[in-house]
Structure 1
Amino acid sequence: MTRLRCGGIILGFAIHHYTFDGRGASLFIKTFSAFARGDVETVPAPFFDRTLLRARSPPSISFDHSDYTPNVFQSEAPSSTLSQVVCANLKLTKEQIHSLKILAGGERVSTFRAVVAHVWKCSCIARGLASDAETQLLLPVDLRGRFKPPLPPTYIGNPTMRTKAVAKVEELVSNTLEFGANLIQRAVDNITDEFGRSLIDHLESMDLEALCKRGAMSNTSLMAISWLSVPMYDADFGWGEPILMARAQMYGSGYVYLSRVPAVDGGISVIVGLEPDSMQCFKKILYEEIEEKIL
């Protein structure tokens, strides 16, 4: 805890991803704040039964899980080390998000799909990637509602699995935003109950210590994480709602987080970590592309 001269307070949390994902962390912090206020009766009971995600016996691996191999992030051309990453917290208004949705296929396109398709496209341009290079977008998917039956809403754990969308840089950049948005939708739709169970069986036989070592991503890769459904600003420790909730640091270059902002104007934050020589161009075209398409 850090007390500021203005009277504000900063609370920092170090949470291991083995323990829970973003939604689990949010539930923990919200519960912590309720206890701090003495408002224990309103706290929903956490659900800790990890047997819901245990491997089957015998295992039944029915999908290709080659993405889940040790050093999957290692590359001959890593994007950067942590010391070479610059971060930006970029705001998109409700109107800008609406414009991106129209460009990505219409109002029914989710905010995540529309914004991430735009960020993916802009990052390829800002990084100056070769037109014939292959770019991949990594997408963690929450399986709470995809398992059959669904996991309890207060489940404490990390039921998150990774999928990816892949394209040639030229086809991603030259096509409309709808092209990238459709790639994202197809990748996410592949994550089903059976895929999740198959992956659990696959991971049971692997060396998890080696698997979980995090290397640097290639500069042709991007990982987009959605915190849009995470109740970020419900944690009142007795001082009122938070002014800001965010990560303390990025894992490295190529990570993107989408989160709500405390204001009720319908806007969101796009928190991006990129290489220093790419960030200025990225910030410029992120907004210019929207304005040009509107005009």
Structure 2
Amino acid sequence: MATSYQESSSLLLQDLKVTIKEASLVFPSQETLTHERKSMFLSNVDQVLNFDVQTVHFFRPNKDFPPEIVSEMLGKALVRAMDVYEFLAGRLRVNPSSGRLDVDCNGAGAGFVTAASEYTLEELGDLVYPNPAFAKLVTSQLQSLPKDNQPLFAFQVTSFKCGGFSMGISTNHTTFDGLSFKTFLANLASLLSEKPLSTPPCNDRTLLKARSPPRVTFPHHELVQLQDSETTTTVFEATSEHLDFNIFKLSSQQILRLKEKASESLSSTGCVRATGFNVVTALVWRCKALSFVEEEDLEKESTILYAVDIRGRLDPQLPSSYTGNAVLTAYAKAKRKALLEEPFGRIVEMVGEGANRITDEYARSAIDWGEMYKGFPHGEVLVSSWWKLGFAEVEYPWGKPKYCCPVVYHRKDIVLLFPDIDGDSKGVYVLAALPAEEMAKFQNWFEDTLS
């Protein structure tokens, strides 16, 4: 049985007692600012991701690196980082000549905030549990700036009474996907250690430019036009209804057993492997689709979405250092009845087939679809995986983070995958947020699939 735990929000710290000490802007070096001002093209993949992503990175006390020294070091390192990540000091705008959203690399600066909490790191409790109060550890809006001049990137260092601290980072999703953000963190750590960049970034977003003329050569069931559906962005939007949070911990041994279970009924063609991601995603899909099923719903179709990195799938391949959003939404769809009755290996196969579908031509077709129709990914459930991005593996001068996590908001149709905090590098936490009745069914199906 998977370890599952729910925690009443009343047991969480409602107020981290955070006080902002200083909020300012950090600018690129004068040498960078004197360069000719330019704009950065944003691909169609970037265009639909115009929202902030907030992450918090917690660090244990280190007597050689108290928070005030860390803040000073980070401020200087960010100046150097923006010399190569010039767009981080820019602003989003609609380009007057193209009518497209792009980044005006105007050197207007990134946000930098120092703050202090009246609690120790230990008093925050279980860092894995999604505490809404963690939002106080991140700044995305600077009060001193108007709404139309907010930075794309803001950093907040919050000290705790024990000497530990957190780095709260807010980035507009147009700036990075998960992999390129990990590369940015690794580069920042190199600069902090007075070393050269570990991976010089490739900022050329035109590598994912639509073809001219655009050619849509595949059906794209994972995408929907804005005007076709009033519920287009449901997956990405927060809900006001009460949701129960539940975290299911899958150990590496349980994931291995899921792989073995899948292998019993996988096709002999060998086109799909029972990887950790495939089996966990198949498990989530089955549980979510059946969590609110009445008998008459079994004939309805369920669609699961999940991100696939396309850097190595294009011809020619994208540089591994590409900074933009080089991910496309893969999908799998099936009737709920099939998710109830088919052997687990077949569900895993459908998930794997969704990723295999994304070839160079499919990716170009999806990008061209965005050029022609201006739409969003849409499905019944989205699996957002932070499992193997490796943020907690970045080695800063003061050590690796104790834990890293996004700030989590109420999203009923997004299931998050997090790495295990307890040292089981192949284990995973599955975070779901559902109304109470659906959560009870989700948990029952979770345990049923594992049995």
TM-score interval, normalised by the smaller of the two chains: 0.7 to 0.9
Partner residue of 1:82 out of 239, 244, 255: 239
Asked whether 1:171 is paired with 2:338, we answer yes
Asked whether 1:233 is paired with 2:233, we answer no
Structure 1: how far apart are the matches of 2:200 and 2:433?
Answer: 36
Asked whether 1:15 is paired with 2:171, we answer yes
| Structure 1 residues 81 and 176: CA distance shift in structure 2, 3 A | same
Structure 1: how far apart are the matches of 2:172 and 2:280?
Answer: 28
Shift of 1:163: 2.5
SS state of the match for residue 15, structure 1? strand
Partner residue of 1:62 out of 206, 217, 229: 217
Shift of 1:62: 1.4
Structure 2: how far apart are the matches of 1:82 and 1:169?
Answer: 24
Asked whether 1:53 is paired with 2:208, we answer yes
Aligned-residue CA RMSD in angstroms?
2.7
Asked whether 1:136 is paired with 2:303, we answer yes
Structure 1: how far apart are the matches of 2:213 and 2:291?
Answer: 48
TM-score normalised per structure 1: 0.84
Shift of 1:42: 5.0
Asked whether 1:277 is paired with 2:444, we answer no
Match of 2:402? 243
Q: Is the 8 A contact 2:383 2:415 kept in 1?
A: yes
Shift of 1:29: 2.3
SS state of the match for residue 91, structure 1? strand
Shift of 1:253: 0.9
Structure 1: how far apart are the matches of 2:258 and 2:227?
Answer: 35
Structure 2: how far apart are the matches of 1:39 and 1:73?
Answer: 51
Asked whether 1:43 is paired with 2:198, we answer yes
Q: Is the 8 A contact 1:2 1:9 kept in 2?
A: yes
Shift of 1:38: 2.4
Structure 1: how far apart are the matches of 2:395 and 2:186?
Answer: 7
Q: Is the 8 A contact 1:15 1:25 kept in 2?
A: no
1:141-160 paired onto structure 2 within 5 Å: 141-160=308-327
Partner residue of 2:260 out of 84, 87, 102: 102
Structure 1: how far apart are the matches of 2:363 and 2:448?
Answer: 39
Shift of 1:4: 2.4
Deviation string, structure 1 residues 99-133 (Cα, Å, up to 9, x no partner): 11111126941111111111111223333352222
SS state of the match for residue 23, structure 1? helix
Shift of 1:284: 4.7
Shift of 1:288: 4.8
| Structure 1 residues 289 and 203: CA distance shift in structure 2, 3 A | closer
Runs ≥4 residues deviating over 6 A: none
Shift of 1:230: 1.5
| Structure 1 residues 59 and 126: CA distance shift in structure 2, 3 A | closer
TM-score normalised per structure 2: 0.57
SS state of the match for residue 269, structure 1? strand
Q: Is the 8 A contact 1:255 1:274 kept in 2?
A: no
| Structure 1 residues 8 and 251: CA distance shift in structure 2, 3 A | same
Q: Is the 8 A contact 1:93 1:265 kept in 2?
A: no
Structure 1: how far apart are the matches of 2:167 and 2:211?
Answer: 40
| Structure 2 gaps, min length 5 | 1-156, 267-272
Structure 2 residue identity aligned to 1:174 = E
Structure 2 residue identity aligned to 1:236 = E
Shift of 1:48: 0.8
Partner residue of 1:119 out of 284, 292, 299: 284
Structure 2: how far apart are the matches of 1:168 and 1:184?
Answer: 14
Q: Matched residues, percent identical?
A: 27
Shift of 1:202: 2.5
Point out the structure with the larger strand share.
2
Structure 1 residue identity aligned to 2:306 = L
SS state of the match for residue 390, structure 2? coil
> What is the count of residue pairs matched by the alignment?
281
SS state of the match for residue 315, structure 2? coil
| Structure 1 residues 82 and 205: CA distance shift in structure 2, 3 A | same
Match of 1:189? 356
Which stretch shows the higher mean deviation, 230-239 or 189-198? Answer: 230-239
Deviation string, structure 1 residues 149-176 (Cα, Å, up to 9, x no partner): 2111111000211132111111111221
Structure 2: how far apart are the matches of 1:122 and 1:179?
Answer: 15
Shift of 1:237: 3.4
Give the number of the structure whose alpha-carbon radius of gyration is greater: 2
SS state of the match for residue 13, structure 1? strand
Structure 2 residue identity aligned to 1:277 = E
| Structure 1 residues 22 and 97: CA distance shift in structure 2, 3 A | same
| Structure 1 gaps, min length 5 | none
Deviation string, structure 1 residues 156-212 (Cα, Å, up to 9, x no partner): 0002111321111111112211121111112211111001112222222344xxx36
Q: Is the 8 A contact 1:136 1:222 kept in 2?
A: yes
Shift of 1:15: 1.6
Structure 2 residue identity aligned to 1:225 = S
Structure 1 residue identity aligned to 2:249 = K
Shift of 1:23: 0.8
Structure 2: how far apart are the matches of 1:137 and 1:231?
Answer: 24
Q: Is the 8 A contact 1:30 1:234 kept in 2?
A: no
Structure 2: how far apart are the matches of 1:39 and 1:286?
Answer: 48
Structure 2: how far apart are the matches of 1:29 and 1:71?
Answer: 38
Structure 2: how far apart are the matches of 1:265 and 1:14?
Answer: 26
Structure 1: how far apart are the matches of 2:229 and 2:416?
Answer: 18
